[in-house]
Structure 1
């Protein structure tokens, strides 16, 4: 049975599906960053690597490995370390994840701010010279 702390962590992460996260070491020093990943699934019944996620784990795609020798909590076949998990989907416990706020800021900075130009400035987006893909065939 999940504790109230685990339920709170699960609820916090469940709203973060698709978000970039920082993965922290499972053994010994829990403050060590081991990788950056993206949350793919929080479905407790989803099977990843032959095991259901359950209430304490989520499925992540490992985007960037920081500590190659970090041990995976649930190895899959010969894949037992973070270095081997680069670019793959694995399970990771909620309590060792944190939403990557640096990625949030950079996404917001590029997508939510309108471009501002002095009044009367003409902006050339360069679309006048765009060629459709059929026109590009001659260039290959």
Structure 2
């Protein structure tokens, strides 16, 4: 059949008759679930559509330029068609078509190969998903989340991870400090604690809080509790820790050893409770 009608105006009778002929041919040979690859300029063989949608697309947008051999819709390339005619005297039509399809990977009414579709549509584009009929769609993968929202969530997660890493680093410094004190340091600390244990063990004692990094005084306040089960920020303070009511801050930017809620540094903790190691708490002599 003459295919010149493909280049005609799409409102002409010639084009419309040719279009109906194409749809009949395509759906007879390559229909899958009542759908075919759409050869319009917009779809470019990228999706499968129903007959009504294919008719609309090809009327509005027209065919892909030069698509006059319908190899994606069951038609053999011309060289294969001529060879097939020579074999029809000894083989049935179905046998010839099946043999050629098997040899060259051309789709027929029973089978549409993914590799052949790839040859028609070309290479995948970076960051694009190729859709085939009822397969996976982008919304299945992204779960309906807009790209801008995904970026925002990623930034929030990164900020949370950074905060957690900072807290972990502080805890590691505490452990390292305790591990590397050595025998002399432990003896010295034990003597210091024994000398001041009476005052540090007393609730209401006015004390100074020293930095774990520099040993300098960073704040002043009152002992509220030395009970290991006492909770500050929802977490038990544990053994050898005090619950301190902070009244005066000397070093506002000093990081809390045990941050909680939104409290990260001493400047935020005035008038609030804080957990502090008893080894870094010194009674204030009046």
TM-score of the aligned structures, taking structure 2 as reference length: 0.32
For the 8 Å contact 2:196–2:283, the answer to whether it is kept is no
Alpha-carbon distance in 1 for matches of 2:196, 2:224: 14
Relative distance call for 1:54 and 1:9 in structure 2 (3 A) is farther
The count of aligned residue pairs is: 97
For the 8 Å contact 1:61–1:87, the answer to whether it is kept is yes
Correspondence for 2:241 among 57, 78, 93: 57
Map 1:7-18 to 2 at 5 A.
8=194, 11-12=197-198, 13-14=200-201, 16-18=202-204
Whether 1:35 aligns to 2:219 is yes
Deviation at 1:56, TM superposition (A): 2.0
For the 8 Å contact 2:193–2:279, the answer to whether it is kept is no
Relative contact order: is structure 1 or structure 2 higher (C-alpha 8 Å, sep ≥ 6)?
A: 1
Deviation at 1:7, TM superposition (A): 7.7
Gaps of 5+ in 2: 1-185
**Ranges of 4+ aligned residues in structure 1 off by more than 4 Å:** 6-11
Indicate the residue corresponding to 1:73 in structure 2: 257
Alpha-carbon distance in 2 for matches of 1:9, 1:48: 27
Larger radius of gyration: 2
Map 1:1-140 to 2 at 5 A.
5=190, 8=194, 11-12=197-198, 13-14=200-201, 16-27=202-213, 29-30=214-215, 32-101=216-285, 104=286
Aligned residue for 2:247, secondary structure, equals strand
More strand by share: 1
Relative distance call for 1:9 and 1:42 in structure 2 (3 A) is farther
For the 8 Å contact 2:205–2:223, the answer to whether it is kept is yes
Aligned residue for 2:267, secondary structure, equals helix
For the 8 Å contact 1:68–1:83, the answer to whether it is kept is yes
For the 8 Å contact 1:42–1:58, the answer to whether it is kept is yes
Alpha-carbon distance in 1 for matches of 2:230, 2:195: 18
Aligned residue for 2:220, secondary structure, equals strand
Deviation at 1:49, TM superposition (A): 1.0
Deviation at 1:50, TM superposition (A): 1.7
Gaps of 5+ in 1: 105-140
More helix by share: 2
Relative distance call for 1:9 and 1:53 in structure 2 (3 A) is farther
Relative distance call for 1:90 and 1:9 in structure 2 (3 A) is farther
Deviation at 1:9, TM superposition (A): 7.9
Deviation at 1:8, TM superposition (A): 4.4
Aligned residue for 1:83, secondary structure, equals helix
Deviation at 1:71, TM superposition (A): 0.8
